[in-house]
Chain A
Amino acid sequence: MTGIRVFTGFGHVLEEVALALIPLIILFIFFQVFFLKLPRHKLKNVFVGLVFTFIGLALFLQGVHVGFLPVGEQMGIALGNLPSKWILVVVGFILGFVATFAEPAVRILNYEVEKVSSGYIPQQVMLYTLSIGVAVSIALSMVRIIYGIPLWYFIIPGYLIALILIRFSSQTFVAIAFDSGGVATGPMTVTFVLAMAIGVASAIEGRDPLLDGFGMITLVALAPILSVLILGLLYGGKEKENERELERDA
């Protein structure tokens, strides 16, 4: 392997992207002909948008193929071969924290939660809770890989807590909480951090990358669900208290 690879295998990627978008385009044409009947200028926008989507998807996948996947895995292997394994846990924590803290989707969620809770859950509180939540998730994933702990030991208690919390939360909060699972699994987590975890799992003796490397996204997705539900409950109590006070005053 010599030299930097940029467009190696780009032909396959273009083919893949075409196959990925064609069903969507066919469905659109069907709707356009029978139901939407968009005027020409709007159709032009859709077409330009599709071209952009095609270029974007191709560049993204190519970057993942030549950059993130191979290098992420090699970095994971290098980290997994370090003599002190606790560093992995620290690195996982930091990666999770910085990724979530800056993620735009997280800010949108925080705003939404502040609105729905009519200001009882401030955006800052939500931001730190989520960032620490995801940080702990990735750190735990590393612990899981180091000791080879089955994913069950984390998911069952996680979802059990979530299901119990549902009983005490309002419908709106439940909907927001479960929808928010995706905000933390941004494009970097799914590509680079997962590749790294797989690398770590293949470097540590006795670990199966298939069994121990995957599962990280699951834990990352669980963090926002639990954060929103717990905060909703904590601050919901405060809200009721406040309502009682208001009633007394009146």
Chain B
Amino acid sequence: MQNIKETVQEVVYAVLPITAVVIILQFTLIWLPMEVFLQFLVGVVMVSMGLIFFLVGAHLGLLPVGEMIGAALPKMGKAWLVVFFGILLGFVVTIAEPDVRVLATQVDLVSGGDISKSLLIYTVALGVAIFVGLAMLRIILSIPLTYLIVGGYGLIFLVAAFTPAHYVPISFDAGGVTTGPMTVPFILALGVGVATVLGGKSASTDGFGLVALASIGPVLAVLILGVIFG
């Protein structure tokens, strides 16, 4: 029960400050029709309730499972299996990530359907998947994180030179939304699980950096999408 209370508090802290500022803005600067403003409040209530259910559910079901799968993976004995399932998990978790869906919806709306929602979601998921795989390889082969980060961003700037301008902001934003309420805990749990079982190495530094890599992947993937479709 403590868990639920904490979650409620967490959501209130995340939602309330901006809601308060918006309410102040409404009655000082904006003066939208009352009906529209009430619609905003309906949104606040639904989003808060939704986040509470989502987080409680994730703590109860998905996250322990993520940790168990993370711990079970290395016991399979074969490195390529660990990497393969890491990739699969990265893909599947990103598809379920709320923030990714919201961004994709907005891109779909603003581009008038040119960059469709599902295309963007699957591209982002693919990007996350490949980089989670790389992150697993990194832990197994003990490659320093900095090499991958510097290399990853180097590659991003290189590909970006060939991508149409209007894909660039979207691709970078896609990197930001993969660090949402679903992906981060799941991927962290996975990383810590793998790092702990492989043993010998410091679990904390190896587990860290997974999220960083998971947000390079989608940027690259969407930039490449731009090169192909733009």
Using a CB–CB cutoff of 8 Å, the interface residues on chain A facing chain B are 1-6, 16, 20-21, 23-24, 27-28, 31, 35-36, 38, 45-72, 74-75, 78-79, 82, 87, 91, 94-95, 98-99, 101-104, 150-152, 155-156, 159, 163, 166, 171-172, 174-176, 178-179, 181-183, 185-188, 190-195, 198, 208-218, 220-221
Contact = CB atoms under 8 A, between A and B. Distances in A.
12 contacts: A5-B39, A49-B59, A56-B51, A71-B39, A75-B40, A79-B29, A79-B30, A104-B10, A104-B13, A174-B209, A188-B15, A218-B172
A57 B98 contact: yes
A114 to B, nearest CB: 15
A63 B98 CA distance: 12
Interface in B78-119: 88-89, 91-93, 95-96, 98-99, 101-103, 105-107, 109-111
A191 B102 contact: yes
A60 B54 contact: yes
Contacts of B76: 35
Q: Would you call the interface of chain A mostly helix, strand, loop, or mixed? A: helix
B228 interface: no
A98 B21 contact: yes
A127 to B, nearest CB: 13
Given A188-B15, A218-B173, A87 B29 contact: yes
Contacts of B1: none
Given A35-B76, A99-B18, A181-B211, 6 more contacts: A48-B61, A66-B42, A75-B22, A102-B13, A188-B14, A213-B110
Contacts of B209: 174-175, 178-179
A213 B107 CA distance: 10
Nearest to B49: A59
Contacts of B65: 28, 31, 36, 46
B205 to A, nearest CB: 5
A174 B149 contact: yes
Nearest to B52: A56
A52 B72 CA distance: 25
Contact of B18 (A16, A65, A82, A193): A193
Contact of B30 (A67, A78, A94, A174): A78
Interface string B177-197: 111110010000000000000
Interface residues of B, number: 100
Contacts of A191: 47, 102
A6 B42 contact: yes
A192 B18 contact: yes
Given A23-B92, A102-B13, A211-B169, A182 B40 contact: no
A99 B19 CA distance: 10
Contact of B176 (A24, A46, A221): A221
A6 B49 CA distance: 13
Interface string B197-209: 0000000110011
Contact of A214 (B41, B99, B169, B208): B169
B141 interface: no
B168 to A, nearest CB: 6
Contacts of B95: 20, 23-24
B229 interface: no
B17 interface: yes
A-B pairs, 3 with minimum CB distance? A67-B43, A49-B61, A182-B179
Nearest to A190: B99
Nearest to A28: B65
Contacts of A38: 68
B36 A71 contact: yes
B176 A181 contact: yes
Nearest to A194: B106
Contacts of B69: 28, 31, 35-36
Contacts of A210: 107, 110-111, 166, 169-170
B165 A150 contact: yes
Contacts of A179: 208-212
A26 to B, nearest CB: 8
Nearest to B18: A188
Contacts of A190: 99, 102-103, 176-177, 180
Contacts of B25: 75, 79, 91
B93 A24 contact: yes
Given A94-B21, A187-B15, A215 B50 contact: no
